């Protein structure tokens, strides 16, 4: 947004400078045609002074617009540099959740990245990849190199963890057949639809539970 605003300002200043130059030139031509007899009788010194004044005015216009353009370019360059630094910094502190099966019955979760994983929701699926959303766990924060046991996931064919990093970027880690994968965003193709339906069913159950006592009172 800032870079685009600076680019628009730079283009606008360029147009203004050329518009003022064209307007001054058109006025000079009109004045020359309308008062040619007076201009023809004017001395070279007076013509030089007149053209010098016009040139000074145009130079001032181009100087002001040039300074504004230079400031816009400087801000755009600084903004691009800041964005590049921020992207590099964020890439260096990205959390990466991986799963390890220690003894074929005990799963453990490890943050193998360099940043803290926030609000880590862990789910498991059976051999038929049927997600068991009733048995899940949430870890508010998993620092880098931290490890946690997942005792509630004893016989799972696939594991999934959804989490964010300190910058609000979303990630999804999966483990199928002892192979870990990382997906940007919360867009696991098989899990998203099942999770959305589970959330809808949970809200409907809570609504029915809250409406029950009211109907009894009436």
Q: Residues 153, 154, 159, 163: what is their CA dihedral angle, to the nearest 10 degrees?
A: 30
Q: Residues 13, 14, 19, 22: what is their CA dihedral angle, to the nearest 10 degrees?
A: 140
Q: How would you write the pLDDT of the chain (218 residues) with one tens digit per residue?
A: 555 676 777 778 778 888 888 888 888 778 777 777 777 777 777 777 777 887 888 888 788 888 777 877 777 777 777 777 666 666 667 889 998 876 666 788 899 888 889 999 898 877 666 777 777 788 999 998 898 888 776 656 788 899 998 888 899 998 887 788 888 887 776 676 666 666 666 666 666 666 655 544 44
pLDDT digits (tens, 9 = 90+) for 68-111: 778 777 777 777 777 776 666 666 678 899 988 766 667 888 99
Q: Would you tell me the crossing angle of helices 2-34 and 44-92 to the nearest 10 degrees?
A: 170
Cβ–Cβ under 8 Å, residues 168 and 184: no
Radius of gyration over every alpha carbon of the chain, rounded to an integer in angstroms: 34
Give the pLDDT confidence score for residue 4 in this predicted structure: 67
Q: What is the pTM (predicted TM-score) of this model? A: 0.51
């Amino acid at each position: 947004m800032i870079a685009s605003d600076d680019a628009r300002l730079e283009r606008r200043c360029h147009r203004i400078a050329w518009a003022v130059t064209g307007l001054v030139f058109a006025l000079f031509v009109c004045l020359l045609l309308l008062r040619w007899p007076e201009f023809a009788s004017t001395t070279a010194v007076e013509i030089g002074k007149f053209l010098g004044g016009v040139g000074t005015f145009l130079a001032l216009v181009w100087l002001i617009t040039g300074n504004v353009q230079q400031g816009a370019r400087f801000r755009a360059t600084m903004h691009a540099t800041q964005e590049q630094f921020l992207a590099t910094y964020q890439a260096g502190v990205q959390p990466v959740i991986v799963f390890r099966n220690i003894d074929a019955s005990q799963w453990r979760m490890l943050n193998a990245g360099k940043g803290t994983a926030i609000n880590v929701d862990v789910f498991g699926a059976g051999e038929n990849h049927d997600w068991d959303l009733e048995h899940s766990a949430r870890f508010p924060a998993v620092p880098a190199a931290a490890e946690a046991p997942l005792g509630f996931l004893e016989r799972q064919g696939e594991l999934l963890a959804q989490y964010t990093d300190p910058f609000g970027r979303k990630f999804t880690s999966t483990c199928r057949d002892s192979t870990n994968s990382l997906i940007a965003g919360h867009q696991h193709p098989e899990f998203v639809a099942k999770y959305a339906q589970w959330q809808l069913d949970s809200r409907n159950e809570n609504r029915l539970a809250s409406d029950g006592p009211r109907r009894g009172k009436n």
